[in-house]
Amino acid sequence: MRILTASDHALLVEAADLDEAMRLNLAWDGVHGVVERIPGARTVLVRFDPLAVSAADLARELAATEIDSAHLPATGEVTVPVRYDGEDLDEAASLLGVSASELVNRHLAAEWTVAFSGFAPGFGYVVSSDPLFDVPRRSSPRTRVPAGSVALAGQFTGVYPRESPGGWQLIGRTDALMWDIDRDPPALLSPGTTVRFEQVRAQAVMSDNADDRADARRVTERDAAASATDPGSPASPAVEVVRPSMQLLVQDAGRPGFAALGVSASGVADRRAMREANRAVGNASGAAVLESVGGAVLRFRGAGVAAVTGAVGTLDLIDADGVARRIAHGAPFATVEGDELTLGHPTSGLRYVIAVRGGVAVDTALDSRASDTLAGLGPDPLAAGDVLRIGDSARHPVEPDVTPRTLPASGDVVDLEITLGPRDDWFTPAALSTLAGQEWTVTPRSDRVGIRLEGDRPLARSVGGELPSEGAVTGAIQVPPDGQPVLFLPDHPLTGGYPIIGALTDRSLDLAAQLPPGVRIRFIVKETS
């Protein structure tokens, strides 16, 4: 096997084929220092704790693995009803050299098994023994693929759990619910599951919004919980959203450990800002906070303590009589009934982090309160009128000391440290020189999934064709066909098919979360042993 650097806290292990990748993934269960494993089509991404094990020691242990030759365990069988009327059915059949009807018949007759999960919660990569199914992705990905779309790419069939962008060939639709947080397991297509596709011939209306039903249920449950606790009562301290920002979310330390379900860790984008804000108000370091892109107005119900860290801008607290006072960045401040906090447009940085003593007490999903914008897990983005109960997670006294922090503004130049790999060998020597030799501008087409960068010279590849889907870390620098990189942030897909030329080091991640549009980036390559 070949072991490649994926970041300063991850290795990518190449296997001979899908079967070997699945066996290696199982064999490494319980290896010391390993945080999470993400199997791919012919790889396993191994995330590790550098404080527990070095990359070199872990690589030696992984390389010494003896693979079990026994059959891979099966985890059940499901039937997925499909109406084969996809937009790409005829094109996919043509690419495979068969008629559309033969493609459908062989898709129905094949024995399918879920090899691994990725891209989004509930998205299973389903493989069969029929050699027919090896079809390229679309040359131009769609910006919107409806939930329930049944699609082909490479040797896999997949079903989109919710509406999302995608470049797979669409051959049909299903109304089967791929992901249900209240089901055990939540993913219908979990690794090891045997899948049988069944043709639906009736002209029944297929649901466009299977994920919307799940979203509606979550909203109903959240509203019911809010009513039960009555956050509007003076006895129940709470925070009300008066005016949201461009994006106002509940975040915490995320939900690592669920990669097998196709769920990324997500969590707050600027971890340092969350720790500082929680320390200021006396919370546990991972207590749930609010993350705001740009200015917002919040109203406090009941007495409490709050702090604002991360982005830097004007902070005003206005009491019920309209009297305003300026709030210091990073310092705890007392609040009483009716106080309104106004966050001005940031003068530097991008994301404010607001902590309240006791933590934001919304319902958890997979042990976390974080809002994952790609997966649709956790609380919805907050809107005007939303009321959030304050919990009781405060464990320490408030911390009045403020640690100064300098963040960039639009037009500034920022250095970010990176490691090369795992697919730097897919690029020309000139592209590697360009990666670190020119400045890259943060474009407005950026969000919690990733920062789209733009440079004068795109990154040229030396290897053509498609890369089988493989795992990606937060901070990965993925390069699509246009050669303009995308820097992954916490809500990125777990797996992807574009080559990753490098990744931010862990200490650069928090700064990357605070880069507003217009900032220019210089990548500094860190040598790895």
Mean pLDDT value across residues 84-102: 97
The phi, psi pair for 23, rounded to 5°, reads -70, -40
Mean pLDDT value across residues 355-375: 95
**Burial level of 481, CB count in 10 A (0-12/13-18/19+)?**
exposed
Query: What SS3 state is found at 403?
Result: coil
Query: For residues 471 and 4, what is the distance between their CA atoms, to the nearest angstrom?
Result: 12
Mean pLDDT value across residues 182-191: 89
**26-76: per-residue pLDDT in tens?**
889 899 999 999 999 899 999 999 999 999 999 999 999 988 765 566 678
Query: For residues 379 and 229, what is the distance between their CA atoms, to the nearest angstrom?
Result: 17
- Residue 231, pLDDT above cutoff 60: no
Under 8 Å CB-to-CB from 52, ≥6 apart: which residues? 32, 33
Query: What SS3 state is found at 63?
Result: helix
- Residue 211, pLDDT above cutoff 70: no
pLDDT at 529: 61
pLDDT at 229: 42
What pLDDT band is residue 142 in, cutting at 50, 70 and 90?
confident
Token output for 181: 């947080």
**4-33: per-residue pLDDT in tens?**
999 999 999 999 988 899 889 888 989 999
pLDDT at 214: 45
Three-state SS letters, 139-206: CCCEEEECCCEEEEEECEEEECCCCEEECCEEEEECCCCCECCCCCCCECCCCCCEEEEEECCCCCCC
| Across 135-139, 228-232, 282-286, 482-486, least confident range | 228-232
Going through 303-347 in order, the beta strands assigned E by DSSP cover 304-312, 315-318, 324-326, 333-335, 340-343
Mean pLDDT value across residues 341-347: 97
Query: For residues 325 and 250, what is the distance between their CA atoms, to the nearest angstrom?
Result: 26
Mean pLDDT value across residues 364-381: 94
What pLDDT band is residue 208 in, cutting at 50, 70 and 90?
very low
**444-469: per-residue pLDDT in tens?**
999 999 999 999 999 999 998 878 88
Query: For residues 240 and 338, what is the distance between their CA atoms, to the nearest angstrom?
Result: 10
What is the residue-averaged pLDDT of the chain? 90
Query: For residues 383 and 318, what is the distance between their CA atoms, to the nearest angstrom?
Result: 21
- Residue 144, pLDDT above cutoff 60: yes
Token output for 346: 């940031």
pLDDT at 236: 83
pLDDT at 110: 96
Mean pLDDT value across residues 200-220: 48
Give the distance, in angstroms, between the CA of residue 54 and the centroid of all CA atoms in the same chain.
Answer: 26
Looking at residue 429, what DSSP letter applies? H
Contact in structure between 208 and 190 (CB atoms under 8 Å) = no
| Across 163-177, 359-373, 389-403, least confident range | 389-403
Contact in structure between 171 and 195 (CB atoms under 8 Å) = no
Query: For residues 337 and 390, what is the distance between their CA atoms, to the nearest angstrom?
Result: 13
- Residue 220, pLDDT above cutoff 80: no
Determine if the pTM surpasses 0.75.
yes
Encode burial over 397-426: b for 16+ CB neighbours within 10 A, e otherwise.
ebbeeeeebebbebeeebebebbbbbbbeb
pLDDT at 395: 83
Under 8 Å CB-to-CB from 280, ≥6 apart: which residues? 307, 309, 330, 331, 332, 355, 398, 399, 400, 402
Query: For residues 328 and 313, what is the distance between their CA atoms, to the nearest angstrom?
Result: 10
pLDDT at 466: 78
- Within 10 Å of residue 92's Cβ, how many Cβ atoms? 25
**98-126: per-residue pLDDT in tens?**
999 999 999 999 999 999 888 888 999 99
- Residue 303, pLDDT above cutoff 70: yes
Looking at residue 35, what DSSP letter applies? E
Query: For residues 191 and 189, what is the distance between their CA atoms, to the nearest angstrom?
Result: 7
Query: For residues 378 and 368, what is the distance between their CA atoms, to the nearest angstrom?
Result: 8
pLDDT at 386: 98
Angle at 396 between CA 390 and CA 397, to 5 degrees: 95
Under 8 Å CB-to-CB from 232, ≥6 apart: which residues? 238, 301, 387
Query: For residues 396 and 422, what is the distance between their CA atoms, to the nearest angstrom?
Result: 42
Mean pLDDT value across residues 221-226: 42
pLDDT at 249: 98
pLDDT at 184: 85
What pLDDT band is residue 333 in, cutting at 50, 70 and 90?
very high
pLDDT at 337: 96
Looking at residue 135, what DSSP letter applies? B
- Residue 196, pLDDT above cutoff 50: yes
pLDDT at 72: 63
The phi, psi pair for 482, rounded to 5°, reads -75, -5
